[in-house]
């Protein structure tokens, strides 16, 4: 015997809007565990895709530690450890199990680093809240496709020297220090940084003019 | 700190580059020069920059993602080379037993044979019919081995050793030997006499004590003893201390040296191939000092002295690996 199809309402019905809104919200959530099998099989491409989505969430979770540890360094080390330990991670029934694991790794690393530096402990409730939210189904939002287009357009409008500084920094992929990058442009480090700052501010202004606001300061 | 300098520091810290260091958390040098507000500012700026970087990258990767993926790639490449080395380190159980526990082997020998191994100069009893000892081992083989029950050659006494536990055993064993068998030429002298020929007379109190520890039954050199002075005292000490291990190694090494060398060569070929491949693919790739040292040793194993010297000299520039590298260079050019 077939059970009756669930009634989700019809257009115009107040319940329909709520159901539609919740479905749209659900579609925006990403379960990054779809990459877990590939990562466990040592597929670096899967890990790259996972990082692309997970990095903003992980970085934001370290905000409370920003004054006491170098969060960029902690984040990179946490991601490396996630890669090393991913084969041992088993999916539970909740989404984003690897992301939740990596949040804990990053938090523990940050706490260890704070202890190592003998600084005052920081409030870690934010991480716990994030973990609970992730376990409850709230995943990272997918990247905004409009942002890419607007940023690319704004980049083209930059003056030559700031644009070169920005391009060199972007192409280095975190592999070279600013001193080395400045040397490739035959600039001093200060000049390079000034050009880069100028490029960043101009880019931020252009983005704001086009209705795109980055999360932090521009 | 001036505002301009502070802004430059914030800009530096906001980048994804971090220096390589022994600490897994590779902090940016500029981060430590910033105050708390500056660090938080750098954090906010890094968030924006990563977003911009990801948006401008065709694959959506930020500089952080690229830096981490580069570290992952380096890690994986290293892991490709290391399994071969770790696999080569797997030693079979019998070999492990003989290599790692010479004292245990000696203890078993003591129980089985029924007399103290300590009576032998180097602490290990050899069976008389060892055909496959390499020349170096044969040369070092003690001539004062005690005869066993199955040894057809009785040991005539030419010297008059002082009574001691080992001597008692020798006498009892000699008495049990059949008298009809003639002594072999090389066994015309007693073990005690042969031992005396090889051992220099202890000159100092320390040496005497050491000699007594090695051989608990003190004996006077006989008239026919020749050139005991040729062996310098430090060598005597070294031999006395290291003899059991050396003998244990020789026991297993005689059968495993050939295969171990081939295994080492195979590992070295793999390691060298991986590094050369990486250097071809990544122009700025440079192995760590430890890897440079290992490479230098590998090239020695493979017989390429020029490359071995080049890598060892590179390794010698780092204080951590300098002593080992210098030692290897000295061995390369004695």
Is residue A61 classed exposed, middle or buried when 0-12, 13-18 and 19+ CB atoms within 10 A define those classes? buried
Residues with Cβ within 8 Å of B156's Cβ and at least 6 positions away in sequence, in order, are: B183, B188, B190
How far off is chain B from A203, nearest CA to CA, in Å? 9
How far off is chain B from A26, nearest CA to CA, in Å? 23
Handedness of CA A163, A164, A165, A169 (dihedral sign): positive
DSSP structure class, residue A142:
P
Confidence band (pLDDT; 50, 70, 90) for A149?
A: confident
Q: Which residue from B minimizes the CA distance to A64?
A: B40
Contact B309, B297 (CB under 8 A): no
Q: Tally the residues of chain B.
A: 334
**The tokens of B158 are what?**
């030419």
Q: Which residue from B minimizes the CA distance to A50?
A: B65
Contact B289, B321 (CB under 8 A): yes
Mean predicted confidence (pLDDT) in A175-203: 92
How far off is chain B from A22, nearest CA to CA, in Å? 27
How far off is chain B from A93, nearest CA to CA, in Å? 28
Residue A151 confidence (pLDDT): 86
Contact B53, B63 (CB under 8 A): yes
Find, among B127, B201, B188, the residue nearest to B158 by Cα: B188
DSSP structure class, residue A143:
P
How far off is chain B from A105, nearest CA to CA, in Å? 13
The three state secondary structure string of chain B is: CCHHHHHHHHHHHCCCCCCCCCCCCCCCHHHHHCCHHHHHHHHHHHHHHHHHHHHHCCCCCCHHHHHHHHHHHHHHHHHHHHHHHHHHCCCCHHHHHHHHCHHHHHHHHHHHHCCCHHHCCCCCCCCCCCCCCCHHHHHHCCCCCCCCCCCCCCCCCCCCCCCCHHHHHHHHHHHHCCCCCCCCHHHCCCHHHHHHHHCCCCCCHHHHHHHHHHCCCCCCCCCCCCCHHHCCHHHHHHHHHHHHHHHHHHHHHHHHHHHHHHHHHHHHHHHHHHHHHHHHHCCCCCCCHHHHHHHHHHHHHHCCHHHHHHHHHHHCCCCCCHHHHHHHHHHHCC
Please indicate whether, in this complex, the C-beta atoms of B52 and A151 are within 8 angstroms of each other: yes
Please tell me if residue B281 touches chain A, with a CB cutoff of 8 Å: no
How far off is chain B from A150, nearest CA to CA, in Å? 9
Confidence band (pLDDT; 50, 70, 90) for A92?
A: confident
**The tokens of B106 are what?**
């000696």
Gap between the Cα atoms of B247 and B137, Å rounded: 8
Gap between the Cα atoms of A43 and A48, Å rounded: 9
Q: Could you tell me if the ipTM is greater than 0.85?
A: no
**The tokens of B236 are what?**
């005597």
pLDDT higher at A96 or A6: A96
Q: Which residues of chain B have pLDDT under 70?
A: 1, 81-110, 112-260, 281, 283-284, 334
Residue B250 confidence (pLDDT): 36
Gap between the Cα atoms of A61 and B221, Å rounded: 82
Please indicate whether, in this complex, the C-beta atoms of A80 and B72 are within 8 angstroms of each other: yes
Please indicate whether, in this complex, the C-beta atoms of A73 and B39 are within 8 angstroms of each other: no
Q: Which residues of A touch B42 (CB under 8 A)?
A: 66
DSSP structure class, residue A6:
P
A:B CB pairs within 8 Å = 175
Gap between the Cα atoms of B103 and B96, Å rounded: 13
**The tokens of B226 are what?**
């020749």
Contact B237, B206 (CB under 8 A): no
Residue B324 confidence (pLDDT): 87
Q: Which residues of B touch A148 (CB under 8 A)?
A: 55-56
pLDDT digits (tens, 9 = 90+) for A16-61: 444 444 444 444 467 888 899 999 999 999 999 999 999 999 999 9
Please indicate whether, in this complex, the C-beta atoms of B55 and A66 are within 8 angstroms of each other: no
pLDDT higher at B7 or A143: B7
Which of A39, A50, A73 would you mutate first to test chain B, the one with the most B CBs within 10 A? A73
Three-state DSSP at A125 gives helix
Instruction: Spell out a b/e string for B105-127, using b for 16 or more CB atoms within 10 Å of the CB, else e.
Output: bbeebbeeeebebebbbbbbbbe
Closest Cβ opposite residue A174 in set B8, B16, B55: B16
Closest Cβ opposite residue A178 in set B12, B43, B60: B12
Q: Which residue from B minimizes the CA distance to A60?
A: B47
Residue A143 confidence (pLDDT): 61
Helix H or strand E segment including A184: helix A178-184
**The tokens of A138 are what?**
């709230």
Q: Which residue from B minimizes the CA distance to A47?
A: B69
Please tell me if residue B76 touches chain A, with a CB cutoff of 8 Å: yes
Find, among B45, B30, B21, B283, the residue nearest to A76 by Cα: B21
Q: Which residues of A touch B83 (CB under 8 A)?
A: none
């Amino acid at each position: 015997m077939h059970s009756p199809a669930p009634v989700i309402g019809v257009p115009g019905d107040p319940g329909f809007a709520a159901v539609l809104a919740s479905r749209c919200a659900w579609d925006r959530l990403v379960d990054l565990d779809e990459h877990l099998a590939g990562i466990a099989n040592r597929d670096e491409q899967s890990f790259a895709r996972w990082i692309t989505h997970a990095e903003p969430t992980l970085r934001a979770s370290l905000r409370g530690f920003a004054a006491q540890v170098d969060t960029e360094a902690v984040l990179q080390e946490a991601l490396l450890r996630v890669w090393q330990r991913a084969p041992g991670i088993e999916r539970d029934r909740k989404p984003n199990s690897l992301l939740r694991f990596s949040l804990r790794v990053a938090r523990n690393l940050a706490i260890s680093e704070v202890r190592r530096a003998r600084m005052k402990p920081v409030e870690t409730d934010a991480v716990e809240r994030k973990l609970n939210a992730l376990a409850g189904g709230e995943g990272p939002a997918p990247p905004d496709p409009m942002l890419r287009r607007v940023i690319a357009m704004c980049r083209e409008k930059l003056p030559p020297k700031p644009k070169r500084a920005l391009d060199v920094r972007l192409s280095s992929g975190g592999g070279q220090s600013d001193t080395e990058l400045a040397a490739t442009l035959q600039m001093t480090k200060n000049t390079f940084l000034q050009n880069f700052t100028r490029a960043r501010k101009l880019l931020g202004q252009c983005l704001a003019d086009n209705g795109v606001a980055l999360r932090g300061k521009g | 700190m001036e505002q301009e300098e502070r802004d430059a520091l914030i800009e530096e810290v906001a980048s994804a580059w971090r220096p390589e260091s022994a600490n897994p958390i590779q902090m940016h040098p500029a981060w430590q020069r910033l105050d708390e507000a500056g660090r938080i500012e750098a954090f906010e700026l890094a968030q924006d920059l990563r977003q911009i970087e990801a948006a401008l990258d065709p694959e959506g990767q930020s500089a952080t993602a690229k830096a981490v993926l580069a570290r992952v790639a380096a890690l994986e490449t290293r892991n490709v080379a290391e399994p071969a080395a770790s696999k080569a380190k797997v030693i079979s159980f019998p070999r492990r037993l003989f290599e790692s526990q010479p004292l245990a082997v000696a203890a078993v020998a003591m129980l089985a044979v029924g007399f103290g191994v300590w009576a032998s100069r180097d602490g290990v009893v050899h069976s008389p019919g060892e055909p496959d000892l390499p020349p170096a081992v044969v040369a070092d083989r003690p001539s004062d081995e005690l005869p066993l029950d199955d040894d057809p050659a009785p040991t005539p006494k030419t010297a008059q050793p002082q009574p001691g536990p080992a001597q008692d055993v020798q006498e009892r064993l000699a008495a049990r030997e059949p008298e009809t068998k003639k002594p072999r030429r090389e066994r015309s002298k007693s073990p005690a006499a042969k031992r005396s020929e090889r051992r220099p007379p202890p000159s100092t109190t320390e040496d005497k004590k050491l000699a007594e520890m090695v051989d608990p039954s003190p004996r006077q050199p006989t008239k026919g003893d020749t050139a005991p002075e040729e062996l310098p005292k430090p060598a005597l000490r070294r031999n006395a201390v290291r003899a059991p291990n050396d003998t244990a190694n020789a026991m297993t090494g005689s059968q495993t040296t050939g295969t171990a060398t081939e295994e080492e060569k195979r590992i070295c070929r793999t390691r060298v191939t991986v590094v050369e491949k990486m250097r071809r693919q990544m122009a700025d790739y440079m192995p760590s000092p430890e890897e440079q040292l290992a490479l230098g040793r590998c090239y020695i194993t493979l017989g390429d002295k020029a490359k071995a010297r080049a890598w060892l000299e590179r390794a010698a520039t780092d204080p951590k690996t300098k002593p080992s590298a210098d030692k290897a260079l000295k061995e390369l050019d004695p």
